[in-house]
Structure 1
């Protein structure tokens, strides 16, 4: 009979500091797990299992959603929906798929843990730039169309991704000595680009009234998206509920899992709102905005991704070759690794 031995799990006191999570006491994988062990652990209840599946399963929903959209056959209609393609395929599909891989393989080595976290920082920047491209095309208030803010909205969003990726990567280096400062940097890198990208939406919902405001039935859907986005941000920063009851939510119900769920639900409402905005404003936007170009769509997204990858390469090189980074790469093996969890 074919039997499969599942990887051993560990307690928090057995793990190097870099792998420890606030309020999560048990269910840790070995920090030098093999690739096979990481894959097997996706079918074993660990403190990462639900994180993996809450990213993997939504990829199928997004694929079905993407295939269900009716795309126009004429050239102008195709160009008009090009930015929607960037948003759904690059932002959602690749973002979710890559995060699944990150959560699966973070425990293959301490170096890999940091490199995966560096890449995770960039993965979270991809949604920001794709969201800015899409919001600039379909969500921008009527009175802001072709304004200076509209023209520079996407370039500034690209610059923001570079700054925030740098902050996110740098935050990993002082993590042992200054964990609160490190957490603040990562939270700023997560929250700031989201707030900037949603400036057109905040204005539409809070301040815009009368002619030129593009008020329609999508406002309520946008509000649902923002509600779940703020919940996701709160869970990401607070580490609740596991901080209130350490050890109770190690496997199911901790903040990162709830963060994933809120992010996915919020993304669903965001997709619905963008589609509704695009359908209701198609005629007006087609008359008053230039046709999308490669430079302003796929070219911009590619430039942002390559720039962020360059930043990651710089920090990865620093991690691997700088003698100052040795302290964060020590104690790779868990203490008492010979002791089984159960």
Structure 2
């Protein structure tokens, strides 16, 4: 850079600085007149001379070095500018007095709120809804559980929007199984995030929140069955008895999953191991049934009869992460090896969430790849999806699962002993 260019750059920087600080100087000038002195001092530092005879002033020439501007009362003036600027950006007193909510250890909260090998970082067991929302923005033992499912929700929504711009979900019936699947993989992580957020309002709300979480997971398993039954089904299974009854059986599995997992929460305090086993079985049974067509295709591929290799590779990655998810859910590692060391970051439930989301991503890619590559063959063999076997099944299953959740929630919301006591008090009055 030439000398003239360097001087021009410095002049522009000083002009920008004067423009940015002009409102503050005006406030100071109104009270102390320092703004005029500053402008005069800056004017004495710079003068503009023509670069050649007959041309206007273009190049600044310094009478003395710039650092003298700051040395000659510059520090005092900058200090006053900062003091006046501090009043402009002063935070309200309520914000300055804000304190993070208190966190508790496992011996300070009721047993229903405790998690295996998690010692500290618990929220208040009777938090308000606003407290629960705010708790997601400060570190506790549920913060990462909330965000590891809330952020993937937006990722799946983005993928859904991209598919909506490329596929015709309204009139093309072949895309309806994918529509059902995409809706449900957006719902289940969001429901889980809400369950972890509002699970500390009361013992009853904790159970009900996780009832909805289990219901969303069971509907997700139904979405997997619908997409697998229409896109992933092996060629030799098309139009067979299994193919025709695949989705209805999946509806029964979804209701079984919701019912058994909700019932397991009532045994959690007295029989924790039995409750864990029942909940694990509730999710494993639909998984084994849904992935049976995929396992069959993988066996055929091992025998040399492979279909879409890109789809099968994505499905294999999904199965790998599905097994990892099941292991993390049942093993409670690594917090079981070092209780209290992974209370906030790194415990098994967070890893379980991450593994489940990554597995769902590979599953989604495999389903989309199968849908695109097998369309001509499936439609040619009469395997066109119907409204009843896709969207109709989703609506019916959604209503049935809500009914199951309502049945298990009713004893928690309505307590006969309290109602009889209240009625007795009214009679006495």
Note whether the superposition's TM-score is higher than 0.5.
Answer: yes
Secondary structure in structure 2 of the residue aligned to 1:81: helix
Alignment-derived partner of residue 240 in structure 1: 333
Structure 1 position 72, deviation (Å): 4.0
- Mapping of residues 78-89 of structure 1, within 5 Å: 78-89=172-183
1:143 touches 1:213 (CA, 8 Å); kept in 2?
A: no
| Preserved contact between residue 141 and residue 213 of structure 1 (Cα < 8 Å) | no
> 1:298 — aligned with what?
391
Matched residue SS, 2:393: helix
Q: How does 1:25-44 map to 2 (within 5 A)?
A: 25-44=119-138
Residues 236 and 256 in structure 1, CA contact (< 8 A), matched pair in contact too: yes
1:71 matched residue in structure 2: 166
Q: Report the equivalent of 2:99.
A: 5
Distance, in Å, in 2 between the alignment partners of 1:149 and 1:314 is 32
Larger Rg: 2
Tell me if 1:116 matches 2:209.
Answer: yes
1:215-230 mapped onto 2 (5 Å cutoff) = 215-230=308-323
1:185 to 250, 271, 278: 278
Distance 1:304 1:75 in 2: 21
Look up the match of 1:167. 260
Alignment length (residue pairs):
322
Q: Which residue of 1 aligns with 2:117?
A: 23
Matched, 1:133 2:233: no
Unaligned runs of 5+ in 1: 325-342
Tell me which of the two structures has the higher relative contact order, counting C-alpha pairs closer than 8 angstroms and 6 or more residues apart. 1
Separation (CA, whole Å) in 2 of partners of 1:68 and 1:176 = 45
Task: Indicate if the aligned counterparts of 2:136 and 2:146 stay in contact, CA closer than 8 A.
Answer: yes
Stretches of structure 2 lacking an aligned partner (at least 5 in a row): 1-91, 418-429
User: For 2:111 and 2:416, how far apart are their aligned partners in 1?
Assistant: 19
* Greater mean deviation of Cα atoms: 282-291 or 13-22: 282-291
Distance 1:173 1:84, change over 3 A: same
Q: Which residue of 2 aligns with 1:59?
A: 153
Alignment deviations for residues 213-263 of structure 1 (CA, whole Å, 9 cap, x no partner): 645332111110110111111101111110111001000000000000001
Q: In the TM superposition, what is the alpha-carbon distance from 1:64 to its structure 2 partner?
A: 1.7
Match of 1:155 in 2: 248
What is the alpha-carbon distance in structure 2 between the residues aligned to residue 140 and residue 293 of structure 1? 16
Structure with the bigger percentage of helix = 2
TM-score, with normalisation over the residues of structure 1?
0.90
Q: C-alpha root-mean-square deviation of aligned residues, in Å?
A: 1.9
| In structure 2, distance between residues paired with 1:48 and 1:73 | 39
For the pair 1:101 / 2:199, whether they are aligned, the reply is no
